[in-house]
Chain A
């Protein structure tokens, strides 16, 4: 092949590839619990493009509605930090209560519901006035946080009390407490808000609740071939756009389960890095990024093919993941 032909081929190849890359590069932000940093992954290149310093032991991470700011639970600094998403500069801290681990931003884009892991408390903070709106006593080691799409219900799960606590966001009071299996870690409402899913790490299950009645309507169990059931420990999970499918991180079994949300049956298991923890989708949900705490990397999954594409080295103990489109 002549030089010119080579160049032409390269040009043709890049032209073929180009449409796959979005015009403005979307990013996945990953908190590194034992490095006090955020690794920013460019979704187009699947490379870490920058690393941002945070407070101590960053875990939960979420963006404001317009993606101009990012909130980070700096657990050992006992604060929630607010960063400028464009520059990565820390703008200010929010009063979060002790040891904030995980949080959820209310649809009003103002109120953060924060789980204070060491304190058996959920703290509600107004991100505009930077004041604590309410503190709600919940079970021991609160962790999983969710808010219903209509904003009326917030959920805290408590790891040692083994409950989902249902908070009325009007009164900031508990109106129901429902038992789940041992060590609940994560909670999510389905997009329509009719159901709540709660994962139990030690119980090895996901419990599905009917939002209207808070009654349990189903339970998902997992069975990874060659892995003892004790080590199959569901943690973070996420739903696809059409809500037909959920991806569930199974902790030290090093697999992500693909669950049919209608039948609650597991359709596939995808091998990922070690102690898979939380996850975030690309904007079109064609790619899923999982944080693997023990191996210190992020696995990129092709959600259509249900295959792992690549591992990306990040910092030590990657924990949370959030999309910046």
Chain B
């Protein structure tokens, strides 16, 4: 047998790798949530949001694996609204130490706290909560979705580069809206911009009929500003703001010019190929959370390919090392921040039909990586779990 293996190795390294075999099971664990109603029914979030991104990552990994004898699989598990996410995570951890989590912050923290999860490798592909990258970080939890603060920093770099220094903000009442609004305020202060007026969106009227009447009146009270920011993360009302404001002003944030991990209009840097592969697989456009799940699965694949191991500890060390780089179709290599496990990445600033810019914008400099001008840099993060 040994002779045979040696012979195989000599004849064909690929064949030997295939004989060696390496199983890499990954589990995609989703907490289903009851979404509050929105004014428009035009484009509800796709039911397979995120999960299909993971499936595309699996397909990419499998192709590489086929040449190396690495066998990847992906199992999707959904926890119904109100279900026990931690219990589902515990069950999943008996089958794999590599989990992609699509869940809000409390569920992520519950999963990360499980004794069974301590040596596992978990990826947050859904929560933009900035605290998870700071004081609430966990050693076993990496983040592929950009934080709220990375997105708001991207937008403020753009506003500053256009000299749009006076800002107004309209924010929804949901926790996600308020979190993003908080990030916008923090970023505005960071880049020396001023939010001169704020309103909370608190109207019961049906804006599909009344936007033209309500929005001018409301925005009249905002006074002079260059750019109208909107925090409406559940896509409830913001779509009715553009062209209905008292002053003719561009809208940005959750609507208009949107900073996000990904958008269907990203086409440079080979992105057109990723978009078309996704479209073929899903029958729809690729969105930010699809991208985050794809990046998590591809990170695992890249680390397995380079280390030849499927051990969560080995993969974690490699992912957090300088050696790791992921080709993420955004023009420069992606890597993980060693201080909080956040995937370092450019942030596209997209309108519905085109990419306006991609942050970091030229001129925003950093001593190590310009990508670290977005979100919590090492001195700002209060995460201690990664030291």
Known A-B contacts A202-B327, A252-B331; the reply to A176 vs B12 at CB < 8 A is: yes
Most B C-beta atoms less than 10 A away, residue of A160, A204, A228: A160
Binding-face segment, B44-52, B59-67, B106-114, B242-250: B59-67
Residue among A161, A165, A181 with the most chain B CB within 10 A? A161
Q: Are B325 and A139 in contact (CB under 8 A)?
A: no
For chain A, the count of residues having a C-beta within 8 Å of the partner chain is: 30
The answer to whether B63 touches A202 (Cβ under 8 A) is no
Who on chain B is nearest to A163 by CB? B67
- Contact indicator A202/B332 (Cβ below 8 Å): yes
In the complex, the answer to whether A160 meets B305 with C-beta atoms within 8 Å is: no
Known: A141-B270, A160-B327, A176-B13. A231 touches B60 (CB 8 A): no
Interface status of B41 (Cβ within 8 A of chain A): no
Of B64, B331, B333, B371, which contacts A203 at CB under 8 A?
Answer: B333
Q: How far is the CA of A182 from the CA of B331 in the complex (A)?
A: 12
- A93 in contact (CB, < 8 A): no
Measured CB to CB, the closest approach of chain B to A141, in angstroms, equals: 5
CB distance from A166 to the nearest CB of B (A): 9
Measured between alpha carbons, how far is A183 from B302 in the docked complex, in Å?
12
Nearest CB of chain A from residue B109's CB, rounded to whole Å: 33
Choice from A175, A176, A182, A252 contacting B333 with Cβ under 8 Å: A182
Q: Mark A136-154, 1 if CB is under 8 A from B, else 0.
A: 0001110000000000000
Contact (Cβ within 8 A) B276 A118: yes
Give the residues in chain A near B67, CB-CB below 8 Å: 139, 161, 163, 165, 174, 177
CB–CB A176/B14 < 8 A? yes
Residue B35 at the chain A interface, CB threshold 8 Å = no
Q: For chains A and B in complex, what number of residue pairs have CB atoms within 8 angstroms?
A: 71
Distance in Å from the Cβ of A293 to the closest Cβ of chain B?
10
Contacts of B277 in A (CB 8 A): 118, 140
Residues of B within 8 A of A202 (CB): 325, 327, 332-333
Q: Name A166's closest neighbour in chain B (CB-CB).
A: B14
List the A side residues contacting B371 at CB < 8 Å.
230
- The CA-CA distance from A97 to B126 in the complex, in Å, is 38
Please state if B63 and A161 are interface contacts (CB–CB under 8 Å).
Answer: yes
B369 an interface residue at 8 Å Cβ cutoff?
A: yes
Given the complex of chains A and B, what is the CA–CA distance between A158 and B63 in angstroms?
A: 10
Give 1 or 0 for each of B220-250: 1 = CB within 8 Å of chain A CB. 0000000000000000000000000000000
A279 within 8 A of B: no
B12 adjacent to A230 (CB under 8 Å): no
Residues from chain A with a CB closer than 8 A to the CB of B198 are none
Interface flag for B273 (CB, 8 Å): yes
Q: Is the CB of B60 within 8 A of A140?
A: yes
* Residue in chain B with minimal CB distance to A185: B270
Instruction: Please measure, in the bound complex, the distance between the C-alpha atom of A138 and the C-alpha atom of B270, giving whole angstroms.
Output: 18
Taking the closest CB of chain A, its distance from the CB of B297, in whole angstroms, is 12
Asked if A162 is at the interface of the complex by the 8 Å CB criterion, the answer is yes
Complex Cα distance, B290 from A96, in Å, reads 32
**A120 interface residue (CB < 8 Å to B):** yes
Map CB proximity to A onto B259-284 as digits: 1 under 8 Å, 0 otherwise: 00000000000100100110000000
- Do B332 and A120 have beta carbons less than 8 Å apart? no
Task: Establish whether residues B370 and A162, one from each chain, have CB atoms under 8 Å apart when the complex forms.
Answer: no
C-alpha spacing A118/B273, complex, angstroms: 6
Contacts of A176 in B (CB 8 A): 12-14
Q: Does A117 contact B (CB under 8 A)?
A: yes
Question: Which residues does chain B contribute within 8 Å of A118, judged by CB atoms?
Answer: 273, 276-277
Residue count of chain B within 8 Å CB distance of chain A: 24
Q: Is B326 an interface residue (CB 8 A)?
A: yes
Task: Flag if B327 contacts A139 (CB, 8 Å).
Answer: no
B369: which A residues are within 8 A, CB to CB?
Answer: 228, 230
* 1/0 contact string of A186-225 vs chain B (CB within 8 Å): 0000000000000001111000000000100000000000
A177 to B18, CA, bound (A): 12
The answer to whether A140 touches B326, judged by C-beta atoms less than 8 angstroms apart, is: no
Interface assignment of A159: CB less than 8 Å from any CB of chain B: yes
Q: A139–B277 Cα gap in the complex (Å)?
A: 14
Q: In the assembled complex, how far is the CB of residue B385 from the closest CB belonging to chain A, in whole angstroms?
A: 27
What is the minimal beta-carbon distance from B60 to any residue of chain A, in angstroms? 5
Return the contact of A183 from the options B14, B327, B370 (Cβ within 8 A).
Answer: B327
A136 to B302, CA, bound (A): 23
Q: B64, B273, B276, B333: which contacts A230 (Cβ < 8 A)?
A: B333
Contact B64 A163 (CB under 8 A): yes
> Which residue of A120, A179, A201 contacts B63 across the interface (Cβ within 8 Å)?
A120
How close is B229's CB to chain A, nearest CB, in angstroms?
Answer: 29
Of all chain A residues, the one with the shortest Cβ separation from B270 is A159
Residues of B1-37 at the interface with A, using a CB-CB cut-off of 8 Å, are 12-14
Across-interface contacts of A140 in B (CB, < 8 A): 60, 63-64, 277
Distance to closest chain A CB from B151 (angstroms): 20
Task: State which residues 230-274 of A face B: CB under 8 Å.
Answer: 230-231, 252
Residue in B closest to A174 when the chains form the complex, CB atoms? B14
Q: Is the CB of B326 within 8 A of A182?
A: yes
- Name the CB-closest residue of B to A251: B331
A175 to B63, CA, bound (A): 16
Asked if A117 and B64 sit within 8 Å, CB to CB, the answer is no
**Chain B residues in contact with chain A, CB under 8 A?**
12-14, 60, 63-64, 67-68, 270, 273, 276-277, 302, 305-306, 325-327, 331-333, 369-371
A residues with CB within 8 A of B: 117-118, 120, 139-141, 158-163, 165, 174-177, 179, 181-183, 201-204, 214, 228, 230-231, 252
Of the A-B pairs whose beta carbons lie under 8 Å apart in the complex, a sample of 17, sorted by A's number, is A140-B64, A158-B63, A160-B63, A160-B327, A161-B60, A176-B12, A176-B13, A176-B14, A177-B67, A177-B68, A179-B306, A183-B327, A202-B325, A202-B327, A204-B333, A228-B369, A230-B369
Closest 3 CB pairs of A and B: A230-B332, A177-B67, A182-B327
Q: A117-B273, A179-B305, A202-B333 are in contact. List 13 more A-B contacts (CB 8 A).
A: A118-B277, A139-B63, A139-B64, A160-B63, A160-B327, A161-B63, A182-B326, A183-B270, A203-B333, A204-B333, A230-B369, A230-B370, A252-B331
